[in-house]
Structure 1
Amino acid sequence: MATLFNRSFVSVIIVQIASLFGDAVLRFALPLYVLNVTGSAALMGAVSAAAWLPYLLLTPIGGVAADRVNKRRIMASLDVLLALTCTAFLALDGTVDLIGMSICALIILYAVQSVYQPTVQAAVPFTVPRESVVRATAIVSQISALSGLVGPVIGGLVFGLFGIEPVVMVAGAAFALSAALIVAFVRIPFQRVEREQGIVRTVLGDLAESLAFLRHERPVILKTIFLVAGINVTVSAFIIIGTPVTVTQILGLPNQFMGFAEGALALGGLAGGVAVGALGNRLSLRKAPVFLLVAALSLVPVAVVLGVPMDAMAAYGMLLASLFASMACATMFSIQAISFIQMETPAHLVGKVIALAMSLANCAQPVGQLVYGGLFDALRGNLVPVAIGTMLVAFAIAGLTYRVLKRGLPEEEPAAAEASAEGRVPMVAEIPRERLL
């Protein structure tokens, strides 16, 4: 463990705490602000979907940049951009429609993360030894979950008591702190990769090479990515849209309670990361789809809350338990899947492959949010079929995932065997709370 917690790894982790905290605060508060002002789940879903579009389009490009550009400069520049965005939001307060500004701020936030996250994920592998891949992945996931736990709780309290402006101020300060820490402490080894073509051809060529690797050399990874996309468009979208609507409108609870609900999701992610870190190589990717089954089963309490009249606080407690269990299981599956990708990806494709995987896994996320936003508005009085239908679809996807992994994985998985294929290095990735991959 001594080699895992070296200076380079720890410095990257520390700056991530600050940056992810600011990210978690804004991702929580801005859509909830739109819901509070308009009362429309469909509009909230549309805003969230619009914010996803630049993320999906730019993430593959971010992966190319992560492999070819100085990672430290990318991280610092993007944190500065987010701090300036928060400053502009506050400066324009009272002169521009805040809903429009919220949409713009979310679009910038997601666009920045499309480049920032592949950069961090491509940087961390060069700071940890190969044998520490799974534990390092779990640690980074725990940091992400911890930021997601503290951010929405604090954001919910501040937003509920003082409004949106102080929330933006807190997030801006976090981004500025992260940028300062990167400049002062982070040192990431960088070896320039020379371009032989123009920028556009280089990007397209790199992406084509990454896609060819997934299609021809590791088709099991590509199939699993598309199945995870199915989970994201159902379970993830259901939780993202349904949780704030259920807490603030159906149960009639204050915004602070939505912050604690987000905290339950983050705490579940933290627990899942701790479990994977403790179990290590004793876990098997072949059996990982069981966690997807349990995550789907966790929607049963949500259906009860939506369909059975009960005390608001009792219903809220059931909802928190459901969110916790669902996120814990999703995180355990995600860490194992990403660790497998890390071990199987050639060094020069690390950033590009993980970015392409993230983009493909989340390509249908905007569609899911639009659909569930409309469903929660149209079927407000009878949402039980929505919850049950989502659970059944997730069951089917988990079963297909088990079949794909059983057929496509070797008898002895590389992570468990600690294989050391020539020219391959691990890649550590984090699991944002909204996604399974």
Structure 2
Amino acid sequence: MYKTFKYLSKKKKVVLGIIASYALCNIFLVPVLTILAPYFINIFLGLPSQIYGIVEGIFVLGMIIGGFWISIKPKMFSMKKVHYTYFPMIAGVLLMSSLGAVKANNYVLAVLFGISGMAIMMSLSLSNVLTLTFIQKEVPLEMLGKISAFSTAIATISVAPGQLLYGQVIEAGIPIGIILLITAAANIALVIFVKWNVRAIDEMNNV
């Protein structure tokens, strides 16, 4: 594992940055869908589990739309501009953060929350296709297995801190709107990091 990290830090810094972005997503974004979503639907809105199931289905629709979109319009997307694929995610989190202050029927709020989650999942789908394709092209075949294992390990390890963090924040009684605004700020920082990371692609191409 350490040798793989050392190899990436010296020869494939962009790939290492991509793997770091996966970890950051698992800490500051995925818990929105796995921890905050059931809390918002079942407890905050007081809606039954069937509604939460429908909202989850809307989330998944975003991933399907993202995959379909990039498959029929591949020229619209490039690794150098991968940070643009995160914009729907930011919009989705910001919309979620405003729902607590919106005066509307709880079912309408649930649908809006689902649409927000759909935007998040679409962003993840688009960015994952671009980054995974880049890794497969950039990494030598003999190193691909080790780097894939390293990436999976980092992504898996980073899940638990995010779940624990958001669970503790909810238990502390912090309003969900505040939690989501902080999440949006964290994800804006993630987009800035991703944009900074892919700038090195131009440098690599000019070498």
TM-score (norm 2): 0.90
Asked if residue 305 in structure 1 is aligned to residue 99 in structure 2, the reply is yes
Call closer, same or farther: CA 1:292–1:362 in 2, change over 3 Å: farther
Q: Compute the displacement of 1:412 (Å).
A: 8.5
CA shift at 1:217, angstroms? 1.6
Change in 2 beyond 3 A, CA 1:254/1:379: same
Match of 2:202 among 400, 407, 410: 410
- The alignment status of 1:372 with 2:166, answered yes or no, reads yes
Instruction: Determine which structure has more spread, i.e. the larger CA radius of gyration.
Output: 1
Partner in structure 2 of residue 345 of structure 1: 139
What percentage of residue pairs aligned between the two structures are identical? 21
Which of 362, 378, 391 is the equivalent residue of 2:184? 391
| Residue deviations 1:53-112 (CA, integer Å, cap 9, x gap) | xxxxxxxxxxxxxxxxxxxxxxxxxxxxxxxxxxxxxxxxxxxxxxxxxxxxxxxxxxxx
User: 4+ residue runs of structure 1 moved beyond 3 angstroms?
Assistant: 410-413
What's 2:38 paired with?
244
CA distance in 2, matches of 1:208, 1:300: 38
Quote the Cα distance in structure 2 between the aligned partners of 1:333 and 1:346.
Answer: 21
Report SS of the residue matched to 1:379: coil
Q: CA deviation at 1:209?
A: 4.3
Pairwise CA distance, 1:317: 1.1
Whether the aligned pair in 2 keeps the contact of 1:307 and 1:383 (CA below 8 Å) is no
Higher relative contact order (CA 8 A, sep 6+): 2
**AA matched with 1:388:** L
Answer yes or no: is the 8 Å Cα contact 1:293–1:394 preserved in 2: no
User: Which residue, 302, 306, 322 being the options, matches 2:116?
Assistant: 322
CA RMSD, Structure 1 to Structure 2 (Å) = 1.9
Moved more, 367-376 or 292-301: 292-301
Structure 1 segment 138-149 matched on structure 2, within 5 A = none
Q: Is the 8 A contact 2:58 2:117 kept in 1?
A: yes
Whether contact under 8 Å (1:235, 1:296) holds in the other structure is no
The residue type equivalent to 2:65 in the other structure is: A
The answer (yes or no) to whether the contact 2:66–2:123 under 8 Å persists in 1 is yes
Equivalent residues in 2 for 1:53-64, closer than 5 Å: none
Structure 1 gap segments, 5+ residues each: 1-206, 414-437
Query: What is the Cα deviation at residue 208 of structure 1?
Result: 4.3
Measure how far apart 1:362 and its partner are: 4.2
**Equivalent residue letter for 2:94:** V
Aligned residues of 1:303 and 1:387 also touching (Cα < 8 A): yes
Contact 1:272 1:329 in 2 (8 A): yes
Instruction: From the two aligned structures, give the one with the greater helix fraction.
Output: 2
Look up the SS of the partner of 2:47 in the other structure: coil
1:90-239 → structure 2 map (5 Å cutoff)? 207-239=1-33
The alignment of Structure 1 onto Structure 2 pairs a total of residues equal to 205
CA distance in 1, matches of 2:145, 2:64: 24
TM-score normalised by L of structure 1: 0.44
